Amino acid sequence: MSDTSLTIDNILAPELTLCRVAASSKKRALEFIAEQINHQDNTLSETQLFNNLISRERLGSTGIGQGIAIPHCRLEGLDHVVGVLMTLEESVEFDAIDNQPVDLIFALIVPKEATSEHLELLSQLAEKFNERSFCDRLRQCEDASTLYQRMTASGG
């Protein structure tokens, strides 16, 4: 098993790409992420996922600015990386570094042991989201399948 093959394309499933989610707060957005992951794989505890995401947020907001957040955490007993992409119907307060509300979220759940892969994925995401035109194209999506295609399309 090669650990160099972890890319956004192979951790993001169409079922976990969600468009225009109605979330009234940061907490609600994180709850929704945990619910969706549990819905796809009920061996993963929704409560544990949510608690781990919240614990990570307490260390410092994962809002990276310009309306984008990359919440992430490690999960005991997980054997693969799980990605969740969602756009929000309305921006929510996320304590982001630029104090801007967030409407574009990519959550990353990694196995407890993962380290370098985890950091590599975070840097890939940060790089993609650094491109304003790319983010605008994601925000313009009206449905999940378009959102998924735009996120996984290579070359930007």
Q: What pLDDT score does 156 carry?
A: 41
- How many CB atoms sit inside 10 A of residue 24's CB? 11
Q: Does some domain include residue 91?
A: yes
Q: Does some domain include residue 155?
A: no
Quick: pLDDT tens for 78-130.
988 999 999 999 999 999 999 999 999 999 999 998 778 788 888 999 999 99
- How many domains does one find in the chain? 1
Q: Does some domain include residue 2?
A: no
Q: Does some domain include residue 26?
A: yes
Q: Does some domain include residue 156?
A: no
Which residue from 107, 106, 108, 93 is spatially nearest to 139, judged by alpha carbons?
106
What are the residue numbers of the active site?
72
Q: What pLDDT score does 154 carry?
A: 58
Q: What pLDDT score does 5 carry?
A: 67
Q: Does position 2 have pLDDT exceeding 90, yes or no? A: no
pLDDT, mean over the chain:
92
Q: Does some domain include residue 1?
A: no
Range of the domain at 122: 11-149
Statement: the pTM of the whole predicted model exceeds 0.95: no
Q: What pLDDT score does 4 carry?
A: 52
Q: Does some domain include residue 131?
A: yes
Q: Does some domain include residue 89?
A: yes
CATH of the domain at 112: 3.40.930.10
* Rounded-to-integer distance, Cα 5 and Cα 34, Å: 25
User: In terms of pLDDT, which residue wins out, 31 or 122?
Assistant: 31
* Rounded-to-integer distance, Cα 12 and Cα 108, Å: 9
Q: Does position 49 have pLDDT exceeding 90, yes or no? A: yes
Q: Does position 31 have pLDDT exceeding 50, yes or no? A: yes
